[in-house]
């Protein structure tokens, strides 16, 4: 298990391993008029100090934790499919040959991240067991009048369901967002899936609700 680290620290470690690409879902933000080279230089200088402070460097020498974190970040960046869960979890599934493991990056504070190499099914179990939007979903009935996708404006969705516990799943592949769904519980319409990109809505059964998670997380059962 690696220690939490700043975004600059994560990028500094990658740069020290000759990788200057953006981390999917966690891109660097340039200041006004700043070139990419200037951004990377500034990030490396700041991140190097963060690496030392967090114990990833012993003097100028990488520690075992540095190597472990470097491997996790390499695997996260290597695969072409990533999923963001709400605003604080970033997952790269199927990073191993049996396709059962993932690299999970958790945002632990405003600028601190924790990186783990874990079975994807554990991430699924934690979401179903702990996420507020997924509690008690077996008690919700599917609204068959809304079982097919129908156009539903985002502002209307936000007005009616913005205060409900929700789970947002954004999927990225090859640098492009290919799917953005919000799963929410509704007293009147049961379990709902909202397609942000298509601005459309449909009702799901609890099993379909869970299947959506399994599909997007690419869990091998």
Structure tokens of 108?
A: 């632990």
Round to whole Å and give the CA distance between 132 and 184. Answer: 10
Of 67, 87, 61, which Cα lies nearest the Cα of 2? Answer: 67
pLDDT score of 141? 84
Mean per-residue pLDDT pooled into runs of 10, the chain (221 residues): 90 96 95 95 96 93 95 97 97 96 96 96 94 90 90 95 93 96 88 96 92 93 81
Round to whole Å and give the CA distance between 95 and 90. Answer: 14
Contact 3, 115 (CB under 8 A): no
pLDDT score of 42? 96
Other C-beta atoms lying within 10 Å of the C-beta of residue 71: 15
Structure tokens of 158?
A: 């936000």
Round to whole Å and give the CA distance between 14 and 24. Answer: 13
**pTM for the model:** 0.93
SS3 call for 35: coil
51 secondary structure, DSSP code: H
Structure tokens of 78?
A: 């290597």
Length of the chain: 221
pLDDT score of 1? 62
Of 69, 68, 25, 64, which Cα lies nearest the Cα of 47? Answer: 69
pLDDT score of 71? 96
Round to whole Å and give the CA distance between 166 and 149. Answer: 18
- How close are the terminal C-alpha atoms of the chain, in Å? 24
């Amino acid at each position: 298990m690696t220690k939490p680290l700043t975004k600059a620290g994560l990028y500094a470690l990658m740069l020290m391993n000759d990788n200057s690409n953006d981390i999917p879902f966690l891109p660097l933000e340039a200041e006004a008029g700043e070139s990419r080279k200037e951004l990377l230089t500034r990030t490396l200088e700041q991140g190097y100090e963060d690496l030392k402070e967090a114990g990833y460097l012993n003097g100028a020498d990488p520690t075992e934790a540095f190597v472990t974190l470097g491997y996790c970040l390499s695997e996260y960046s290597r695969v072409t499919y990533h999923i963001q869960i709400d605003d604080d979890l970033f997952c790269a599934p199927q990073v191993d040959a049996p396709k059962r493991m993932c690299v999970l990056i958790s945002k632990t504070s405003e600028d601190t991240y924790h990186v783990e190499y874990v079975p994807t099914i554990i991430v699924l179990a934690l979401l179903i067991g702990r996420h507020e939007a997924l509690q008690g979903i077996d008690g919700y009935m599917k609204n068959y009048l809304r079982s097919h996708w129908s156009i539903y404006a985002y502002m209307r969705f936000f007005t009616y369901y913005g205060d409900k516990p929700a789970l947002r799943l954004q999927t990225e592949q090859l640098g492009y967002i290919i799917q953005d769904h919000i799963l929410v519980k509704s007293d009147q319409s049961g379990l709902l899936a909202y397609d942000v990109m298509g601005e459309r809505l449909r009702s799901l059964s609890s099993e379909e609700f869970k299947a959506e998670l399994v599909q997007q997380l690419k869990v091998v059962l």
